[in-house]
A and B are shown apart, each in its own frame.
Chain A
Amino acid sequence: GENVEQHPSTLSVQEGDSAVIKCTYSDSASNYFPWYKQELGKRPQLIIDIRSNVGEKKDQRIAVTLNKTAKHFSLHITETQPEDSAVYFCAALRGNQGGKLIFGQGTELSVKP
Protein backbone atom coordinates (compact mmCIF):
# COMPACT_ATOMS: atom_id res chain seq x y z
CA GLY A 1 0.00 0.00 0.00
CA GLU A 2 0.87 3.67 -0.08
CA ASN A 3 3.35 5.13 2.40
CA VAL A 4 4.01 8.85 2.83
CA GLU A 5 7.10 10.23 4.56
CA GLN A 6 7.25 13.89 5.60
CA HIS A 7 10.24 16.01 6.62
CA PRO A 8 11.16 17.85 8.70
CA SER A 9 9.05 17.07 11.77
CA THR A 10 9.65 20.57 13.16
CA LEU A 11 10.65 23.77 11.40
CA SER A 12 11.37 27.16 12.92
CA VAL A 13 11.76 30.26 10.74
CA GLN A 14 11.90 34.01 11.21
CA GLU A 15 8.95 36.06 10.07
CA GLY A 16 9.40 36.97 6.42
CA ASP A 17 11.58 33.95 5.61
CA SER A 18 10.48 31.06 3.41
CA ALA A 19 9.56 27.60 4.66
CA VAL A 20 9.77 24.35 2.71
CA ILE A 21 8.26 21.02 3.74
CA LYS A 22 8.93 17.86 1.74
CA CYS A 23 7.06 14.59 1.30
CA THR A 24 7.82 11.39 -0.53
CA TYR A 25 5.34 8.72 -1.50
CA SER A 26 5.72 5.10 -2.49
CA ASP A 27 2.80 4.29 -4.82
CA SER A 28 3.50 5.52 -8.36
CA ALA A 29 -0.25 5.26 -9.11
CA SER A 30 -1.07 8.03 -6.59
CA ASN A 31 -2.51 10.99 -8.45
CA TYR A 32 -3.70 13.58 -5.92
CA PHE A 33 -1.56 15.33 -3.30
CA PRO A 34 -3.21 17.73 -0.83
CA TRP A 35 -1.67 19.78 1.96
CA TYR A 36 -3.59 20.43 5.17
CA LYS A 37 -2.99 23.01 7.89
CA GLN A 38 -4.04 22.17 11.43
CA GLU A 39 -4.03 24.77 14.17
CA LEU A 40 -3.89 23.63 17.78
CA GLY A 41 -7.14 21.95 18.80
CA LYS A 42 -8.75 22.51 15.40
CA ARG A 43 -9.67 20.35 12.44
CA PRO A 44 -7.34 19.95 9.43
CA GLN A 45 -8.12 22.38 6.62
CA LEU A 46 -7.05 22.07 3.00
CA ILE A 47 -4.69 24.86 1.94
CA ILE A 48 -3.57 23.68 -1.48
CA ASP A 49 -3.59 20.53 -3.58
CA ILE A 50 -2.07 19.28 -6.80
CA ARG A 51 -2.91 16.54 -9.26
CA SER A 52 -0.39 14.32 -10.98
CA ASN A 53 -0.84 15.99 -14.37
CA VAL A 54 0.52 19.29 -13.01
CA GLY A 55 4.08 20.08 -11.88
CA GLU A 56 3.46 23.21 -9.83
CA LYS A 57 0.55 25.17 -8.38
CA LYS A 58 0.57 28.53 -6.61
CA ASP A 59 -1.94 30.35 -4.44
CA GLN A 60 -0.64 33.70 -3.19
CA ARG A 61 2.19 32.90 -0.71
CA ILE A 62 1.75 29.13 -0.95
CA ALA A 63 3.00 26.84 -3.69
CA VAL A 64 3.25 23.10 -4.17
CA THR A 65 5.63 21.32 -6.54
CA LEU A 66 5.40 17.71 -7.67
CA ASN A 67 8.14 15.50 -9.11
CA LYS A 68 6.43 12.30 -10.28
CA THR A 69 9.65 10.64 -11.39
CA ALA A 70 11.22 11.01 -7.95
CA LYS A 71 7.85 10.55 -6.20
CA HIS A 72 8.13 13.60 -4.04
CA PHE A 73 6.21 16.82 -3.56
CA SER A 74 6.91 19.94 -1.53
CA LEU A 75 5.06 22.81 0.11
CA HIS A 76 6.62 26.25 -0.16
CA ILE A 77 5.45 29.16 1.98
CA THR A 78 7.00 32.54 1.22
CA GLU A 79 7.02 35.70 3.38
CA THR A 80 5.98 33.68 6.41
CA GLN A 81 3.82 35.33 9.06
CA PRO A 82 3.18 34.33 12.71
CA GLU A 83 -0.31 33.15 11.74
CA ASP A 84 1.32 30.52 9.50
CA SER A 85 2.42 28.73 12.69
CA ALA A 86 0.60 25.39 12.74
CA VAL A 87 1.08 21.71 11.93
CA TYR A 88 1.12 20.95 8.21
CA PHE A 89 0.25 17.53 6.79
CA CYS A 90 0.85 16.20 3.31
CA ALA A 91 -1.18 13.32 1.93
CA ALA A 92 -1.40 11.12 -1.15
CA LEU A 93 -4.37 9.47 -2.77
CA ARG A 94 -4.85 6.89 -5.44
CA GLY A 95 -7.89 8.05 -7.34
CA ASN A 96 -9.47 4.64 -7.78
CA GLN A 97 -9.13 3.72 -4.10
CA GLY A 98 -12.34 5.26 -2.75
CA GLY A 99 -10.67 8.51 -1.79
CA LYS A 100 -8.41 6.91 0.80
CA LEU A 101 -5.91 9.59 1.81
CA ILE A 102 -2.63 8.43 3.33
CA PHE A 103 -1.14 11.16 5.51
CA GLY A 104 2.40 12.07 6.36
CA GLN A 105 3.44 12.44 9.99
CA GLY A 106 3.16 16.23 10.05
CA THR A 107 5.50 19.21 10.33
CA GLU A 108 5.17 21.68 13.17
CA LEU A 109 6.01 25.09 11.73
CA SER A 110 6.86 27.90 14.09
CA VAL A 111 7.22 31.44 12.69
CA LYS A 112 9.02 33.74 15.11
CA PRO A 113 8.18 37.45 14.94
Chain B
Amino acid sequence: NAGVTQTPKFRILKIGQSMTLQCTQDMNHNYMYWYRQDPGMGLKLIYYSVGAGITDKGEVPNGYNVSRSTTEDFPLRLELAAPSQTSVYFCATHRGSSSYEQYFGPGTRLTVT
Protein backbone atom coordinates (compact mmCIF):
# COMPACT_ATOMS: atom_id res chain seq x y z
CA ASN B 1 0.00 0.00 0.00
CA ALA B 2 1.51 3.28 -1.10
CA GLY B 3 -1.14 5.29 0.80
CA VAL B 4 -1.30 8.83 -0.59
CA THR B 5 1.18 9.82 -3.29
CA GLN B 6 1.79 13.24 -4.81
CA THR B 7 3.70 14.34 -7.88
CA PRO B 8 5.82 16.27 -8.51
CA LYS B 9 7.83 16.72 -5.29
CA PHE B 10 9.14 20.13 -6.37
CA ARG B 11 8.27 22.55 -9.14
CA ILE B 12 9.24 26.06 -10.16
CA LEU B 13 6.73 27.96 -12.28
CA LYS B 14 6.92 31.31 -13.99
CA ILE B 15 4.14 33.83 -13.37
CA GLY B 16 1.21 33.11 -15.67
CA GLN B 17 2.07 29.47 -16.30
CA SER B 18 -0.31 26.68 -15.35
CA MET B 19 0.20 23.20 -13.97
CA THR B 20 -1.57 20.24 -12.39
CA LEU B 21 -0.56 18.75 -9.05
CA GLN B 22 -1.35 15.07 -8.95
CA CYS B 23 -2.70 13.16 -5.95
CA THR B 24 -3.45 9.44 -5.93
CA GLN B 25 -4.58 7.19 -3.09
CA ASP B 26 -4.87 3.42 -2.92
CA MET B 27 -6.79 3.33 0.37
CA ASN B 28 -10.23 3.34 -1.28
CA HIS B 29 -11.15 6.42 0.76
CA ASN B 30 -14.12 8.51 -0.28
CA TYR B 31 -12.94 11.83 1.11
CA MET B 32 -9.99 13.72 -0.38
CA TYR B 33 -8.61 17.19 0.36
CA TRP B 34 -6.11 19.72 -0.90
CA TYR B 35 -4.35 21.98 1.59
CA ARG B 36 -1.72 24.63 1.19
CA GLN B 37 0.84 25.46 3.86
CA ASP B 38 2.64 28.76 3.69
CA PRO B 39 5.98 29.10 5.54
CA GLY B 40 5.52 29.09 9.32
CA MET B 41 1.76 28.75 9.02
CA GLY B 42 -0.95 26.16 9.46
CA LEU B 43 -2.75 24.34 6.69
CA LYS B 44 -5.53 26.01 4.75
CA LEU B 45 -8.14 23.93 2.91
CA ILE B 46 -8.34 24.71 -0.82
CA TYR B 47 -10.85 22.16 -2.14
CA TYR B 48 -12.27 18.87 -1.01
CA SER B 49 -14.28 15.95 -2.39
CA VAL B 50 -16.62 13.54 -0.64
CA GLY B 51 -16.61 11.08 -3.53
CA ALA B 52 -16.11 10.67 -7.26
CA GLY B 53 -17.90 13.41 -9.18
CA ILE B 54 -18.40 15.64 -6.11
CA THR B 55 -16.15 18.57 -5.21
CA ASP B 56 -16.56 21.67 -3.08
CA LYS B 57 -14.62 24.79 -2.11
CA GLY B 58 -12.64 25.13 1.08
CA GLU B 59 -11.25 28.25 2.74
CA VAL B 60 -8.93 29.46 -0.06
CA PRO B 61 -10.17 28.20 -3.48
CA ASN B 62 -9.38 31.24 -5.64
CA GLY B 63 -6.90 30.51 -8.42
CA TYR B 64 -7.39 26.74 -8.25
CA ASN B 65 -9.62 24.09 -9.79
CA VAL B 66 -10.16 20.42 -9.04
CA SER B 67 -11.85 17.40 -10.53
CA ARG B 68 -12.64 13.93 -9.14
CA SER B 69 -13.45 11.49 -11.89
CA THR B 70 -12.26 8.42 -9.94
CA THR B 71 -12.03 7.44 -6.27
CA GLU B 72 -8.23 7.23 -6.53
CA ASP B 73 -7.29 10.55 -8.15
CA PHE B 74 -7.86 14.15 -7.11
CA PRO B 75 -5.77 16.53 -9.27
CA LEU B 76 -5.38 20.21 -8.38
CA ARG B 77 -5.09 22.63 -11.29
CA LEU B 78 -3.37 26.02 -11.04
CA GLU B 79 -4.25 28.43 -13.84
CA LEU B 80 -2.23 31.62 -14.34
CA ALA B 81 0.21 30.99 -11.48
CA ALA B 82 0.95 33.95 -9.19
CA PRO B 83 3.74 34.48 -6.58
CA SER B 84 1.05 34.27 -3.86
CA GLN B 85 0.62 30.60 -4.79
CA THR B 86 4.17 29.79 -3.68
CA SER B 87 3.54 27.21 -0.97
CA VAL B 88 3.71 23.56 -0.02
CA TYR B 89 0.64 21.65 -1.17
CA PHE B 90 -0.60 18.61 0.71
CA CYS B 91 -3.22 16.15 -0.42
CA ALA B 92 -5.04 14.14 2.26
CA THR B 93 -7.72 11.48 2.51
CA HIS B 94 -9.98 9.92 5.07
CA ARG B 95 -12.32 6.98 4.92
CA GLY B 96 -15.45 8.83 5.91
CA SER B 97 -18.30 7.33 7.89
CA SER B 98 -17.35 7.48 11.58
CA SER B 99 -13.58 7.71 10.96
CA TYR B 100 -12.18 11.22 10.85
CA GLU B 101 -8.43 10.54 10.78
CA GLN B 102 -6.83 12.20 7.76
CA TYR B 103 -3.79 10.70 6.01
CA PHE B 104 -1.48 13.14 4.26
CA GLY B 105 0.63 12.76 1.16
CA PRO B 106 4.31 13.84 1.18
CA GLY B 107 3.58 17.26 -0.31
CA THR B 108 4.55 19.27 -3.39
CA ARG B 109 6.76 22.33 -2.92
CA LEU B 110 5.80 24.95 -5.50
CA THR B 111 7.65 28.18 -6.20
CA VAL B 112 6.21 30.81 -8.55
CA THR B 113 8.68 33.45 -9.73
Contacts and interface: CB of A to CB of B under 8 A. Distances in A.
A, B from the same assembly: yes
Interface of A: 1, 6, 32, 34, 42-46, 49, 89, 93, 95, 98-106
B66 to A, nearest CB: 14
Interface string B40-69: 111111001010000010110000000000
9 contacts: A43-B107, A98-B56, A99-B50, A99-B96, A101-B102, A103-B43, A103-B44, A104-B42, A106-B41
A43 B42 contact: no
Contacts, number: 55
B93 to A, nearest CB: 9
Contact of A106 (B31, B40, B101): B40
B74 interface: no
Contacts of A42: 106
A105 B42 CA distance: 4
**How many interface residues does chain B have, given as a range?**
20 to 34
A106 B33 CA distance: 19
Contacts of A104: 42
Given A99-B96, A100-B45, A44 B50 contact: no
A-B residue pairs, 7 tightest by C-beta: A103-B42, A43-B104, A103-B43, A32-B100, A105-B42, A99-B31, A98-B50
